[in-house]
Amino acid sequence: MLVSIKRIIRWGWQGLFRDGGAATATVFIMVLTISLITSIFLLKEASSFLISSIQEKVDISVYFKENSTEQEILNIQEELSKIPEVQNVKYVSQEQALQDFIQRHKEDPVLMRSLEEVGRNPFLASLNIRASDPTQYEAVSDFLDNSLFGYLIEKVDYHQRKPVIEKIFSLTANLEKSGIVFSVLLVFLSFLVVFNTIRLIIMKGQEEIQIQRLVGASNWFIRGPFLFQGTIFGILSALISLLIFTFVCWFFGSQISILFPELDMWTYFLSNIWTIFLIQLLTGIGLGVVSSLMAIRKYLEI
């Protein structure tokens, strides 16, 4: 048994060095494949962050009549916070609404003059409500319309914002689905490329396989060197991919953090480095071994 294993390993190594060009091409293709899968893993975190950032900007506002007191509004805020569908409720006073408007439009002289001509604060106090789930905004709006404190409410802008809310969450849902479909397609195409590259290596050793069969070698003994080569290809490709992504995340992580301070790809990469390497290793070995098994089937007449 040990003698057979040693021969399999020796012939596997000999095959690697004998077909150096094909072996290099196989490793290159597998590095690309593993890099794609690693990118999917990392981009999933980035896309989740971006989607959640977009979703956090979506809310509805409840505007209160001018005769509503601050205490009454704060009491309503407390009641809304108890609703399971509501994630966050922010109170915006009339004064704060005015200051926010001035800050946003201070460079627009027409709006500033219009505000001066009004001669008073035209804004209403409001509560900005963010739901736990985008599908819950309608339920929150219905709750407000049928609440006991409805007499204090001037308007709820849900129906004005509804088309925008639906478009945003339809877009994010489609992005997630498209990402999954695109990932599966890339993995499938990569597998085909690796399979055909390894098949070329096996075709070069076709004569050797026929000789081994003539002398009575078992199918697994014939498979052994190619499975060993596939495993080595996978390990080398995983190590190269890990080095590439270590550099990429280190180099570009700080630049991404400038644009998105809350998204630290370098820290995320380091905290998940063993998971990432395990994914790369399993992908590499899996591609190498499965491709070798499938490619050699023809020559073993199974």
Residues facing 92 on adjacent strands: 126
Compute the C-alpha angle 223/225/230, nearest 5°: 90
- Count of residues in the chain: 302
Please state the rounded mean pLDDT for residues 167-183: 69
- Non-local (6+) Cβ contacts of 254 within 8 A are 266
Q: What pLDDT shows up at residue 239?
A: 92
Q: Model-level pTM greater than 0.85?
A: no
Q: Domain 59-160, what fold? A: Alpha-Beta Plaits (3.30.70)
The β-bridge relationship of strands 86-92 and 126-131 is antiparallel
C-beta separation of 61 from 126 below 8 A? yes
Of 114-123, 157-166, 267-276, the range with the lowest mean pLDDT is 157-166
Q: What pLDDT shows up at residue 302?
A: 44
Instruction: In the chain, list all ranges with CATH 3.30.70.3040.
Output: 59-160
* Mean pLDDT taken over the chain: 76
Closest CA to 64 of 119, 128, 143: 128
Question: Is 93 a residue whose pLDDT tops 60?
Answer: yes
